[in-house]
Amino acid sequence: MSFRRKLLLVFALTVFLSVAAVAWMVSLVTRRAFERSNEERTAALVAQFQHEFRRHSDDVVHSVEAIAASEATTRMALALNRSSSQSAGYLNEATPVAESHQLDFLEFVDARGTIVSSAQSPAKFGYPETSLANLPQLVAKPAFLKQEELPQGTALGLFAVRSTTVGDKPLYVVGGKRLDRNSLVALELPTGMRAMLYQVSGAFFVPQALIDASGNVKQPEALAPLILQVQKQGREFTQLMHWSSDPADDETIHAIPLNGADDKTLGVLLIGSSRRAYVEVKRHIQSAAMLVGGAGILLAILLSSWAAARVTRPVEQLATAAREVAAGNLNTQVDVTSQDEVGELAEAFNRMTRELLEQKERLVQTERVAAWRELARRLAHELKNPLFPLQLTVENLIRAYEQSPQLFEEIFREGSATLLAEINNLKQIIARFSEFSKMPQPQLQQVRVNDLVNGVMRLFQAQLQSRNGGGIECRADLQEDLAPVAADPDLLHRAVSNLVLNAMDAMPQGGILTLRTRQNLDRQYIEVSDTGVGLTREECERLFTPYYTSKQHGTGLGLAIVQSVVSDHGGTISVQSEPGKGTTFLIELPINLDKLRAPKESHSVVTTRSS
Amino acid sequence: MRLSGWRWLAVSSLLWASLSAETRPQYGGNLRITTRIAPSSLDPADRTQADSVARQNLDSLMFDTLVTIDNRGRLQPALATSWKAEPGNQRWQFWLRRGVKFHDGSPLTPEAVAASLRLANPGWNIVPANDSVIIVRDAPAPDLGAELTREQNGIAKRGAGGSVVGTGPFHITDWQAGKKLTLAAAEGYWAGRTFLDTIEIEMGKNSRDQLIALELGKVDVVEVASDQSHRASAEGRRVVSSSPIELMALVFTRERQSPDEGKLRDVLALSIDRSSIRGVVLQGVGEPSGAILPSWISGYAFVFPTDQNLTRARQERSEIRQVPVWTLGYDANDALARVIAERIALNARDAGLTLQTTTSANADIRLTRLTLTSLNPRVALAQVASTLGLPAPKFGTGSTDELYQAESSLLQTQRLIPLFQLPVSYALNTSVQDWDQDLDGSWHPDNAWLGSNRP
């Protein structure tokens, strides 16, 4: 991973963790504040309901007391006291009285507990009032919750019982108001809150029995477990309801049991508090956190880019420069743009490259001097050989002229021949040097390497077989279907020929000469192996130095020429050898067909060129 | 004679004259009637609305039948002056009264009578013949005369646009369907012009509103609900009641599907406390009845049991494993019906049955009032069978025993549970004089007239 990315990652992570931590803390604080507020609102609403409950209770008690104390009730009690058969005439008595006192329920019950008249259920006349266990005990009590059975179902109401006594027989007045939707409408509900009322109807949940201020509740079955739990255990419970997959629709439901006179749960009041506000705040926090985080990361990118620009770019420049230097371009310098550590590093690099350049130049000069010395040594050595016989011959001629004039003519003819031969030798030596000094640039053509190698083998075939001291077996191991390469056929032929000659020189007693060719991707390889005396490691290292030779004769330019030819073709030459195990030269050539100006394939191998 | 004696004579003569004037019928006046029914059509042959005494009375104001029936069940001449039944009672001939005209002035002809009767009785073969009409039935019809007294057989002439004209004592001057009917006396009525000039009938009024209107003097004749008649009388109002003529019954809307269902219907019948309902809800009006025909018509209604028997009801109920929940429908405009229906539901619950009361028209059981359309018991019974969708009972001899068997067979279908026989009652304004009403509650306003405090 690059330094810039690491820097970016560190900055981004720092920003992310900071923002996440702050967002989490804010969310936590918000949630606690919301829950506290929710509890307070719920408690307030419950208190309000209880206040309404007490108010309704008082209203009911007052109304029932008024009815019980009224003249009409007294007359009824008198008539019933005289004869119970009089009750038939009072069948419809309760309805108008209930209407006038705004009561939803009203019954007149005689001393035996039999209903004389019922406003809510006129047909119940003559039936015992079974829903109230002990009427006399309830007379003095405040209003209580009771379920009233109606023709169309049951209803929950606040009831009070009072009586009027004529003689020894009381007439009971049981009046009440319905606890229904209107009771919930009277509540002032804060935003996001709602109140629901469930009327208990047996052990099983009845969806229609759950109402709110607007009527029936949506998805009532979802509240069934909570309601049944309250109903069963008779105490308050709170539950978080998930109405949909959107958390904003969640609602905290607080369920409170409503008990009757006998402490049996007759209804359940549910206070719902929407979590929408909290969820929306939370979402806002998250959005803000994401926004800040995003901005932070953007800032991190900018900062990291700026930091990278200040730090990594000089480092990259240094790296690039180093690669240039490694490639051999010692003139590479980097810009020093600061005075800090990076600037010092750049200056150090520049100093280094300058010193390297100077050292290289010194080395080149030294090598040039060494090469000149070697050349001079070689020249001296090469020239010394023919010059000594020249000198001897001339001295013989002088002596003969002075001492043996009669033999001078014969000596002069012999001496002249020797002089001419050595002068010819000198000319050859000079020609070789001249040839090496002006090695031509290769003229690239399409060349089939196998054909070239075959040509070289044919050229030396006779020589290989007629060697004194034993023939040399020539073996060819040529990969078929080699692609043509871009090469100068003459120069390449010469190079291969030089290697063959060296191989032959290395096997004076005979041996095996092997020529191999192969291709690997875009490179072709020519291998010349012998089973001669082999070379030491030091000899291998100096093998390609011009004028170096391990032979007794020779200019030492042969392998230098081979190396020069191979190098001019963009290839390389290497050698593997061990003393006594022969030597293998390996030429590696690029195919380089794209370098050809015009396709020009040479099918025949080589035309030999005199050196 | 002394002067004081002459003065006394003069004054008493004047008094006597005024009193006599008050008791002598007077022509003129507008009789105002309210009724609970609100028919959409005045055609007597249109029986899409339920039969009732009120409907019968309305029809009788505008249309005449060939014959009428008296309180003893005897046929009396009306548009037909005489009749004859061939042996076997399949072929009857009715001779028409001469000189009778429809309210539009056209004469009453045998063709018109035949056309009217054919419309009301498509299965009859009716042939006009000279000044008579011949009716031929597929089977013996000994009670054809009584059938002809039913208001659906009122003779009417139908015109374009659904208009109808009759031959009755009043003709139509204004008709607002379901709301108001205004009639005027037919000047050339064959039985003599009535004393009243006009009759205004306001329809669709409930009992309470009718009584209030009577109290305020806005109407002259109102219907009184059964449970209000005693109170109305006790409060000094003039109330005239018929004999029990309306059967209040529970009618099952379909045949029993299984023996178990038959048993459950039995349980329901046994659970009903008619006595309490009559004593309290009906305020003692009417008679508990286990029969279709009232005792004063059949003479044997007491034979059918009416007492509640919860013990037996519970026992029979326990023999049934699966008990459905029945719905009991009642007329939403009838407060009395609501209380009775709820009471019956309570009684049924005591026996272990669940009845849900409803005002919906699609109920398993309906609390219904069946009006007896004829004082002829066989005709009345046949009409009840027809209402229930049951085959009409066949009568041969017309004996009481035969009648009893027919009624028993009808009850054994368990399509209905008779509850009460109720009278129809009317409260009258003090100005209404000589109001005539038969035992079956049918009006005879021919002789009615309005006294001094008429509007």
Q: What is the DSSP string of A123-140?
A: GGTTSB-TT-S-HHHHTT
Q: What single-letter amino acid sits at A214?
A: S
What pLDDT, on the 0 to 100 scale, is given for residue A308?
Answer: 72
Domain-embedded: residue B50: no
CA separation for the pair A79, A86 (Å, rounded): 6
Q: Using a CB-CB distance cutoff of 8 angstroms, which residues of chain A are in contact with residue B345? A: 123, 151
Task: Indicate whether A468 pLDDT > 60.
Answer: no
Paired strand residues for B33: B201, B221
B284 and A87 within 8 Å at the Cβ level: the answer is: no
Domain-embedded: residue B391: yes
B280 touches A: beta carbon within 8 Å: yes
**Whether B276 and B341 share a structural domain:** yes
B340 touches A: beta carbon within 8 Å: yes
Radius of gyration over every alpha carbon of chain B, rounded to an integer in angstroms:
24
Mutant choice from A125, A130, A131, A148 vs B, greatest count of B C-beta within 10 A: A125
* Cβ-Cβ contacts under 8 Å for A305 (sequence gap 6 or more): A4, A8
Facing residue for B280 by CB, picked from A88, A151, A152? A88
Nearest residue in chain A measured CA to CA from B284: A88
Mean pLDDT estimate for chain B: 89
Mutant choice from A80, A84, A92 vs B, greatest count of B C-beta within 10 A: A92
Domain-embedded: residue B5: no
Task: Work out the pLDDT band at A609, boundaries 50, 70, 90.
Answer: very low
**Whether B190 and B310 share a structural domain:** no
A88 and B284 within 8 Å at the Cβ level: the answer is: yes
Stretch B319-329: mean pLDDT, rounded?
A: 93
Mean pLDDT estimate for chain A: 85
B279 touches A: beta carbon within 8 Å: yes
Task: Indicate whether B8 pLDDT > 70.
Answer: no
Facing residue for A121 by CB, picked from B276, B281, B342? B342
What pLDDT, on the 0 to 100 scale, is given for residue B100?
Answer: 95
Task: List Cα–Cα distances, A1 to A5, A8, A239, A316, in angstroms.
Answer: 6, 11, 51, 14
Percent of chain A with pLDDT over 90: 30
Q: Output B22 or A477, whichever has higher pLDDT.
A: A477
Stretch A361-377: mean pLDDT, rounded?
A: 76
* Cβ-Cβ contacts under 8 Å for B376 (sequence gap 6 or more): B69, B73, B143, B146, B147, B149
**Whether B275 and B334 share a structural domain:** yes
**Whether B299 and B411 share a structural domain:** yes
**Whether B343 and B396 share a structural domain:** yes
pLDDT tens-digit readout, A399-447: 888 888 888 888 888 888 888 888 888 887 787 777 667 667 788 889 9
**Whether B131 and B221 share a structural domain:** no
Task: Work out the pLDDT band at A273, boundaries 50, 70, 90.
Answer: confident
Task: List Cα–Cα distances, A18 to A475, A511, B64, in angstroms.
Answer: 77, 81, 104
Backbone dihedral region for residue B256 (phi beyond 0: left; psi -120 to 50: alpha; all else: beta): beta
pLDDT tens-digit readout, A434-448: 766 766 778 888 999
Nearest partner of A475 among A549, A430, A527, A398, judged by Cα: A527
Stretch A115-134: mean pLDDT, rounded?
A: 89
Task: Work out the pLDDT band at A536, boundaries 50, 70, 90.
Answer: confident
Structure tokens at A386: 């023919």
**Whether B253 and B340 share a structural domain:** yes
Q: Are strands A472-478 and A511-520 parallel, antiparallel or unpaired?
A: parallel
What pLDDT, on the 0 to 100 scale, is given for residue A302?
Answer: 85
| Burial class for A172, CB neighbours closer than 10 Å (0-12, 13-18, 19+) | buried
CA separation for the pair A505, A552 (Å, rounded): 10
Mutant choice from A115, A118, A127 vs B, greatest count of B C-beta within 10 A: A127
> Which residue among B165, B196, B226 closes a domain?
B165
Nearest partner of B276 among B350, B343, B369, judged by Cα: B343
Q: Which domain holds residue B72?
A: 64-165
Structure tokens at A495: 């190079």
Structure tokens at A494: 């010469």
CA separation for the pair B156, A171 (Å, rounded): 61
A125 and B280 within 8 Å at the Cβ level: the answer is: yes
Mutant choice from B227, B235, B274, B280 vs A, greatest count of A C-beta within 10 A: B280
A569 touches B: beta carbon within 8 Å: no
Residue pair B154/B164 in contact by the 8 Å Cβ criterion: no
Stretch B376-405: mean pLDDT, rounded?
A: 86
> Which residue among B113, B146, B165 closes a domain?
B165
**Whether B262 and B233 share a structural domain:** no
**Whether B179 and B125 share a structural domain:** no
Q: Which residue has the tokens 């939370």?
A: A282
Q: Using a CB-CB distance cutoff of 8 angstroms, which residues of chain B are in contact with residue A127? A: 346
What pLDDT, on the 0 to 100 scale, is given for residue B15?
Answer: 54
CATH assignment of the domain containing B74: 3.40.190.10
B158 touches A: beta carbon within 8 Å: no
- For chain B, how many structural domains are there in total? 3
Task: Indicate whether A598 pLDDT > 60.
Answer: no
CB half-sphere exposure, A277, CA atoms < 13 A: 14
**Which residue pairs, CB below 8 angstroms and at least 24 apart, start in A580-584?**
A580/A533, A580/A534, A581/A531, A581/A534, A582/A506, A582/A511, A582/A529, A582/A530, A582/A531, A582/A532, A582/A534, A583/A503, A583/A506, A583/A529, A583/A530, A583/A532, A583/A534, A583/A535, A584/A527, A584/A528, A584/A529, A584/A530
Q: Output A499 or B21, whichever has higher pLDDT.
A: A499
Stretch B320-338: mean pLDDT, rounded?
A: 90
**Whether B139 and B276 share a structural domain:** no
Residue pair A119/A103 in contact by the 8 Å Cβ criterion: yes
3-state class (DSSP) for residue A395: helix
Domain-embedded: residue B41: no
Q: Using a CB-CB distance cutoff of 8 angstroms, which residues of chain A are in contact with residue B343? A: 123
Nearest residue in chain A measured CA to CA from B359: A152
What is A427-490 written as a DSSP string?
A: HHHHHHHHHHHTPPPP--EEE-HHHHHHHHHHHHHHHHHT-TT--EEEEEEE-TTPPPEEE-HH
ipTM value, please give it. Answer: 0.75
CATH assignment of the domain containing B290: 3.10.105.10
**Whether B218 and B199 share a structural domain:** yes
Backbone dihedral region for residue B377 (phi beyond 0: left; psi -120 to 50: alpha; all else: beta): alpha
A122 and B283 within 8 Å at the Cβ level: the answer is: no
What pLDDT, on the 0 to 100 scale, is given for residue A467?
Answer: 58
Q: Which residue has the tokens 């021949």?
A: A417
What is A197-243 written as a DSSP string?
A: EEE--SSS--GGGEEETTEEPSSGGGGHHHHHHHHHH-S-EEEEE--
**Whether B308 and B432 share a structural domain:** no
Task: Work out the pLDDT band at A68, boundaries 50, 70, 90.
Answer: very high
B346 and A88 within 8 Å at the Cβ level: the answer is: no
* Cβ-Cβ contacts under 8 Å for A152 (sequence gap 6 or more): B357
Question: Exposure string (b/e) for A483-515, b if CB count within 10 Å is 16 or more?
Answer: ebbbbbbbbbbbbbbbbbebbbbbbeebbebbb
Give the distance, in angstroms, between the CA of residue A101 and the centroid of all CA atoms in the same chain.
Answer: 78
> Which residue among B165, B186, B202 closes a domain?
B165
Stretch A23-33: mean pLDDT, rounded?
A: 85
Domain-embedded: residue B22: no
Domain-embedded: residue B230: yes
Domain-embedded: residue B29: no
A126 and B283 within 8 Å at the Cβ level: the answer is: no
Facing residue for B280 by CB, picked from A126, A151, A152? A126
Domain-embedded: residue B188: yes
Give the distance, in angstroms, between the CA of residue B328 and the centroid of all CA atoms in the same chain.
Answer: 24
Task: Indicate whether B19 pLDDT > 60.
Answer: no
What pLDDT, on the 0 to 100 scale, is given for residue A260?
Answer: 87
